[in-house]
Copies of this chain bind each other. A is one copy, B any other.
Amino acid sequence: MAVVNIKEIYNRVLKIFEKAGLAHEDAVVMADVLTDAQMKGITTHGYIRVKKYVDCIKSGGIKPAGELRIENEMPSWARVDGQGGLGIVIANKAADIAIQKAKETGVGIVNVYNSHHLGPAGYYAAKCADAGMLGMVMSNGDVLVAATGSREKTIGNNPFAYAVPAGKYDKILYDVAMSMGSDMKIIQMEQEGKQVPNGWMLDAKGSPSNNPSDYMAGGVLLPFGGYKGYGLALMVETFAAVLSGAAVTQNVHAWNSTPGTSGNVGHFIMALDIAKMCDVNEYIKRTESIIDEIKSSEKAEGADGIFYPGEKEQIAKNACLLAGTVEVVDSVMELIKTAEASF
Is A191 an interface residue when CB atoms closer than 8 A count as contact? Answer: no
Other-chain residue from B207, B238, B287, B306 in contact with A238 (beta carbon distance below 8 A): B287
How many copies of this chain does one complex carry?
A: 2
Interface residues on A, range: 35 or more
Q: How far is the CB of A316 from chain B (nearest CB, A)?
A: 16
Decide: B300 and A272 in contact? CB cutoff 8 A. no
Decide: A154 and B278 in contact? CB cutoff 8 A. no
Q: Bound state CA distance, A111 and B74, in angstroms?
A: 21
Determine the chain B residues whose CB is within 8 A of the CB of A231 once the complex forms: 172, 174, 176, 309
Determine the chain B residues whose CB is within 8 A of the CB of A147 once the complex forms: 294, 297, 306
Other-chain residue from B229, B274, B298 in contact with A228 (beta carbon distance below 8 A): B229
Q: Bound state CA distance, A154 and B147, in angstroms?
A: 31
Interface string of A95-132 (1 = CB under 8 A from B): 00000000001110101000000000000000000000
Decide: B299 and A234 in contact? CB cutoff 8 A. no
Given A245-B282, A287-B242, A301-B206: A105 and B79 within 8 A (CB)?
A: no
Q: Bound state CA distance, A306 and B79, in angstroms?
A: 32
Interface string of A146-186 (1 = CB under 8 A from B): 11111110110000001010000000101010001000000
Is A60 an interface residue when CB atoms closer than 8 A count as contact? Answer: no
Determine the chain B residues whose CB is within 8 A of the CB of A164 once the complex forms: 235, 238-239, 242
Determine the chain B residues whose CB is within 8 A of the CB of A297 once the complex forms: 147, 150-152, 154
Other-chain residue from B234, B293, B300 in contact with A290 (beta carbon distance below 8 A): B234
Decide: A180 and B301 in contact? CB cutoff 8 A. no
Interface residues in A311-332 by Cβ distance below 8 A to B read none
Decide: B301 and A74 in contact? CB cutoff 8 A. no
Determine the chain B residues whose CB is within 8 A of the CB of A238 once the complex forms: 134, 164, 172, 287, 290
Other-chain residue from B245, B298, B309 in contact with A234 (beta carbon distance below 8 A): B309
Closest 10 CB pairs of A and B: A224-B225, A225-B225, A206-B300, A149-B303, A149-B306, A76-B76, A174-B231, A151-B300, A152-B297, A231-B309
